[in-house]
Amino acid sequence: MSAPIQLRPDETFLLNVGPQHPATHGVLRVKMQMDGEYIVKAETVLGYVHRMHEKMGENRTYAQYLPNLSRLDYLGALGYTHGHVLAIERAAGIEVPERAEYIRAITVELNRVASHLFWFGAFVMDLGGFSPLMYAIQDREHILDMLEAVTGARLTYCYYRFGGLYNDVDDDFIEAAKRFIPRMRKSLKKYDALVTGNIIFQKRLEDIAPVSAEMCRKYGATGPVARGSGINFDVRKNEPYSVYPEFDFEVPVYHECDSMARYKVRMDEMEQSLRIIEQGLEKLPGGPIMTEKKPKNIKLPVGDFYQAVETARGSFGIRIVSDGDKNAYRLKLRSPTYSNMHLFDEACEGMLIMDALAFMGSLDLVIPEMDR
Amino acid sequence: MILETTQQALQALFAGAVPANEAEAGAPRDNGVILRDYQKHGYHLDAQVAANQLLAAVTILDQGGFFIESITGVDWIKENQMEVIYDFSRYDFDPCRVVIRTRVPRDTPVVPTISTIYAGANWHERETHDFFGIKFEGHPHLVPLLLPEDADFHPLLKDFKA
């Protein structure tokens, strides 16, 4: 008979999660020092899909750079392209027709619902429930079909132009969007009944992975992560842009600071996005979708310009330092996932590894957006 | 409200010296606080400080309840300078975006780390070090973040050749 295996009581070991690991939803690596099932210390290693988008911003013209923005976050690309066109329009002083801004808001919100739907499915799958993903993808498919019809793409949209849009929406789109809203509302009820009340789901999330409001501030966390920690912050409300002041919607905030709070914020946000889409379709004004006085070659005045927008993941910022040329002297992308993920290392200390993976899911990571 | 108090607190660093308000963003200028047109630039306060005033300026913002947005650099090769830009904002319905910038010589780009004040500055500073080679003195772990672990090049330098 062989001797029993004995570990020293103070012994820890190193666990490598990723870069190819289903829980990270992309190429992200976390080095974890483990004491049994508990994390002693964690270090996130990123950069596996780094493509130097900021350098490309310097050697392409502003218009040529448009497609790059949709390659940051493949789940909610429209929000990022919206930030870019708004930054250019702000700096160059381009007026946008009202109809174009309304269509932008409608499509961004549709994209936000699609992004949250995919996150919802993937998150529940992380926790062991496979079928909600199938339902979520089915609903998301309707949005992708609608957006494909107007933008010509299913994920990497390049739909907005400086001063307007590339293409007007047709009656089919409006009809499809109107049909989608009640369908989605029914689905949200279904998801709630299927998932939110599930006792296993609750036990995996409630009081797990607390992120305090102070920690959010120190790391610059925004979006649903901050709103799950009791911070009432949404760029659409706090720093209104586009036509968002015209819409009546609420910003869901939960004060529990746990993974469940972050889940609830996103689930409630889908309903709020539907409200915006509904009002947008109702109020949609006629008129042109492109400004008449659009300069052919965009050159920005000398200066330093910043534009923030609320994407599905949080506050996305774009800084353009211009020296008056047709491309940027320096272009900085402030990505929300980057700041949201940064607090993971500190927050997961002392956590069970399974809780930490659920926590990671609740942060809604899109790695190409983080690595840029 | 917060805008005025922050402006005054930052202004106190310069013993009352006020730079011309119309100085264009991006162009070389004297250290000091400038109130920007939010509609045009997207931020409210623009403070350029010396590298040794940086920690004092960031402490003011920390005490004012600001959160860190990002840190980045700009290579001003013609002026032989490197600029480090810090963005701060607030979780507030009275928006107040503050930009802190500091310029250091291009050959010896060293600024103190602010990761002691804002833990979230850690990655931003590592990224800025990756791209520009700017050293953040006192940073606990200044190794490549986004670039390969053995990277010895800084791709956002204007004289970088691939």
- pLDDT per residue over A329-350, tens digit each? 999 999 999 999 999 988 888 8
- Chain A's closest residue to B147, CA to CA, is A47
Mean pLDDT of chain B: 85
- Write out pLDDT tens, residues A247-259: 999 999 999 888 8
Q: Is residue B62 within a helix (H) or strand (E), and if so which, with residue range? A: helix B54-63
Residues 6+ apart with CB under 8 A from B147: A47, A50, B130, B153, B155
Interval A49-65 mean pLDDT: 89
Question: Does the pLDDT of residue B24 top 80, yes or no?
Answer: no
Interval A225-247 mean pLDDT: 90
CA distances from A188 to A124, A181, A269, A363, B81 (A): 14, 11, 11, 20, 54
Q: Which chain A residues are closer than 8 Å to B156 by Cβ?
A: 54-55, 58, 330
Question: Does the pLDDT of residue A239 top 80, yes or no?
Answer: yes
- Of all residues in chain A, the percent with pLDDT exceeding 90 is 35
Question: Does the pLDDT of residue A161 top 70, yes or no?
Answer: yes
- Write out pLDDT tens, residues B116-147: 999 989 999 999 998 998 999 898 888 888 98
Query: Shortest Cα distance from A339 to chain B (angstroms)?
Result: 7
Provide the residue type at A30 as one letter.
V
What is the rounded distance in angstroms from the CA atom of residue A32 to the CA atom of residue A275?
A: 42
Q: Are A7 and A34 in contact (CB under 8 A)?
A: no
Question: Does the pLDDT of residue B22 top 60, yes or no?
Answer: no
- Write out pLDDT tens, residues A289-321: 888 877 778 888 888 889 999 999 999 999 999
Q: Are B71 and B85 in contact (CB under 8 A)?
A: yes
- Number of helices (H) and strands (E) in chain A: give both, helices first: 15, 10
Interval A254-279 mean pLDDT: 91
- Write out pLDDT tens, residues A13-52: 888 887 877 766 778 888 988 888 888 889 999 888 899 8
Q: Are B44 and B3 in contact (CB under 8 A)?
A: yes
What is the rounded distance in angstroms from the CA atom of residue A259 to the CA atom of residue A228?
A: 8
CB–CB of A330 and B146 under 8 A? no
CA A91 to chain centre: 25
Q: How confident is the model at residue A11 (pLDDT cuts 50, 70, 90)?
A: confident
Query: Which residue shows structure tokens 């291009």?
Result: B106
| pLDDT at position A197 | 83
| pLDDT at position A299 | 84
| pLDDT at position B27 | 58
CATH 3.40.50.720 fits A52-347, yes or no: no
| pLDDT at position B20 | 55
DSSP A177-241: HHHHHHHHHHHHHHHIIIIIT-HHHHHHHTT-S---HHHHHHHT--HHHHHTTT----HHHHS--
DSSP one-letter code for A293: T
Query: Which residue shows structure tokens 């305090």?
Result: A212
Q: Which chain B residues are closer than 8 Å to A322 by Cβ?
A: 26
ipTM over 0.95: no
- Write out pLDDT tens, residues A74-123: 888 999 999 999 999 888 888 889 899 999 999 999 999 999 999 999 99
| pLDDT at position A265 | 93
Q: Are A67 and A55 in contact (CB under 8 A)?
A: no
For residue A324, which of B61, B27, B84, B137 has the smallest C-alpha distance? Answer: B27
Mean pLDDT of chain A: 88
Interval B142-162 mean pLDDT: 86
Question: Does the pLDDT of residue A6 top 80, yes or no?
Answer: no
Interval B6-10 mean pLDDT: 79
Instruction: Please tell me if residue B136 touches chain A, with a CB cutoff of 8 Å.
Output: no
**Both tokens of residue A344?**
């993971």
The residue that leads in pLDDT, A82 or B33, is: A82
| pLDDT at position B18 | 62
- Write out pLDDT tens, residues A110-156: 999 999 999 999 999 888 888 889 999 999 999 999 999 998 888 88
| pLDDT at position A222 | 92
Q: Which chain A residues are closer than 8 Å to B72 by Cβ?
A: 319, 330, 332
Q: Are A208 and A358 in contact (CB under 8 A)?
A: yes
**Both tokens of residue A202?**
């609750």
Query: Shortest Cα distance from B11 to chain A (angstroms)?
Result: 21
Q: How confident is the model at residue A12 (pLDDT cuts 50, 70, 90)?
A: confident
For residue A265, which of A222, A204, A308 has the smallest C-alpha distance? Answer: A222
In chain A, % helix, strand, coil (3-state, to 5) comes to: 50, 15, 35
DSSP one-letter code for A163: T
CB–CB of B87 and A338 under 8 A? no
Q: Which chain A residues are closer than 8 Å to B65 by Cβ?
A: 217
Q: Is residue A118 within a helix (H) or strand (E), and if so which, with residue range? A: helix A98-126
Interface of B with A in 86-105 (CB under 8 A): 87, 89, 91-93, 95, 97, 99
Task: Name which of A219, A237, A303 is nearest B120 (Cβ-Cβ).
Answer: A219
Radius of gyration of chain A (CA): 22
| pLDDT at position A181 | 92
| pLDDT at position B23 | 55
Domain parsing of chain A, residue ranges = 1-50, 52-347
CB–CB of B146 and A87 under 8 A? no
Interval A229-241 mean pLDDT: 90
For residue A100, which of A280, A361, A334, A357 has the smallest C-alpha distance? Answer: A280
What is the rounded distance in angstroms from the CA atom of residue A11 to the CA atom of residue A202?
A: 32
